[in-house]
Structure 1
Amino acid sequence: MNLKKTWTFDRWVALLLPPFYLVGIFGHAFEATFELMITLTPLTILTTVVLAYYPKVAKRDTKLLIWLAVSFAVTLVLEIIGVATSLIFGSYSYGSTLGLKLLEVPLVIGLNWTIVILGIVSFLDRLHVPAVLSVIGTGVLASAFDWIMEPVAIALDYWTWTGSDIPIQNYIAWALIAAACAGAYKGFRLQCKSWVPSLIVGIQTVFFFTLRFIVV
């Protein structure tokens, strides 16, 4: 895929994805469409992930695809261990909203977290942030993203916590996991030329922040 085609693809995503999520915001706001939005949640996340992965697959960016696959596997395995033991993130369990599960963990959760990490670290790359600060920044921003998302996720039955409060260890764990993945990204000198993952993180941040005022 040449740069012109990548830019064309990115522009199409930039044109179509914001209205796609805007429909989701309005759909969650009205009782008549709320259940439909819940049903479509796994498909929405999967569609978003495909849009983020497509440029790498089309370009055959092997090193970046390996990083994506390993990051997905790591986040999924840590989620599985976390759900089973409550040691990593705290005591929690997943609901049915996010769809197909492996050992009680929805598959889409690892996919989306991988895109969030990629979107943040590649955005910081574009700002020419030094490597160490980029790794730390990715951890902090990923944890901030989770903080914005958490109340909405609980309200929509993505997952539930055993206690009434979200444990601080959850945010610390995600900061460390994201930083570790970002460290591998920087260590292998990977580059994501498409800005679609960063766009997705921005759109999802606005999406969840807005839903905090609608469903929480």
Structure 2
Amino acid sequence: MTPSASTLGRRLRPTPVIVLLTLIYLAGVIGIALPVHDHFIRLTPLTLLASLGLAMAFHPGPRKPLWGYVGLCYVVGFVAEAIGTSTGLLFGDYTYGHVLGPTLWHTPLIIGVNWALLLYCLNVVVQRVLPGLSRPLKGGVGAALMVALDILIEPVAIRHEMWTWGETIVPLSNYIGWFLVSLPVSILFHYLFERVRNPVAIAVALLMAGFFAALTLLGV
């Protein structure tokens, strides 16, 4: 990370960054709901990258453990998805469309960023809301939140052809797979980091949930 990026969280207050992110996600909801939705949905990779970068910028503490953890989450998420798309194991029979950008082994490169973003932000939420739990239990709650958010994501992602399932409904194996893949890296988060106070990460988690919930309610 460059010195300017590593000190962003110190030089800026979180409030204007949260406002900026809120406007980005709100623009996404409005843009997708309008006839020009194709242009907006294809900005998904940029939104994920911006969200992860800003959340990391406001992480308190040393940078190296954070980079190591985010890198691990990327690799775990991408490899799990690549295995899933190639074999049908872990999640079920599904294929990705072209919305999420360039692919490797039939898997969008950006999907690892999505895993890293969700794992980091949702486990920050767990530490904030449930500080008294043991580390393994916190990790379990973090993995459960991953599954809960995926339940919100699936209808929107399918409708906009981010990915398609070989079955008429999303199989239960998808949610079981999400939990099992998320659990060890969620537990690891709470061994690496304690008492993380990152309002931007919490805001991203809430904005993502609100984004997909709004699109589901609007039916778009």
Task: State if a TM-score over 0.5 links the two structures.
Answer: yes
Contact 2:126 2:138 in 1 (8 A): yes
Question: Which residue pairs with 2:158 in the alignment?
Answer: 154
User: More displaced, 196-205 or 184-193?
Assistant: 184-193
Q: For 2:194 and 2:85, how far apart are their aligned partners in 1?
A: 31
Q: Secondary structure at the match of 1:93?
A: strand
Question: Which residue pairs with 2:96 in the alignment?
Answer: 94
In the alignment, which of 83, 86, 94 is matched to residue 84 of structure 1? 86
Question: Structure 1: which 5+ runs fail to align?
Answer: none
In the alignment, which of 184, 204, 209 is matched to residue 180 of structure 1? 184
CA apart distance, 1:202? 0.7
Q: For 1:118 and 1:191, how far apart are their aligned partners in 2?
A: 13
Question: Which residue pairs with 1:43 in the alignment?
Answer: 46
User: More displaced, 147-156 or 197-206?
Assistant: 197-206
Q: For 1:4 and 1:53, how far apart are their aligned partners in 2?
A: 9
Question: Structure 2: which 5+ runs fail to align?
Answer: 1-5
Contact 2:153 2:212 in 1 (8 A): yes
Q: For 2:132 and 2:145, how far apart are their aligned partners in 1?
A: 14
Contact 2:7 2:57 in 1 (8 A): no
Of all paired residues, the percent bearing the same amino acid is 30
Q: What TM-score do the two structures reach when normalised by structure 2?
A: 0.88
For 2:100, the aligned partner's letter is L
Q: What TM-score do the two structures reach when normalised by structure 1?
A: 0.90
For 1:200, the aligned partner's letter is V
Q: For 2:52 and 2:192, how far apart are their aligned partners in 1?
A: 23
Asked if residue 20 in structure 1 is aligned to residue 34 in structure 2, the reply is no
> Over the residues paired in the alignment, what is the CA RMSD in angstroms?
2.2
Q: How does 1:161-176 map to 2 (within 5 A)?
A: 161-176=165-180
Contact 2:121 2:202 in 1 (8 A): yes
Contact 2:152 2:209 in 1 (8 A): yes
Q: Secondary structure at the match of 2:198?
A: coil
Q: For 2:206 and 2:171, how far apart are their aligned partners in 1?
A: 25
Task: Count residues in correspondence.
Answer: 213
Question: Which residue pairs with 2:3 in the alignment?
Answer: none
For 1:37, the aligned partner's letter is F
1:62-102 Cα shifts (integer Å, max 9, x gaps): 11210110111011011101100001100000000011212
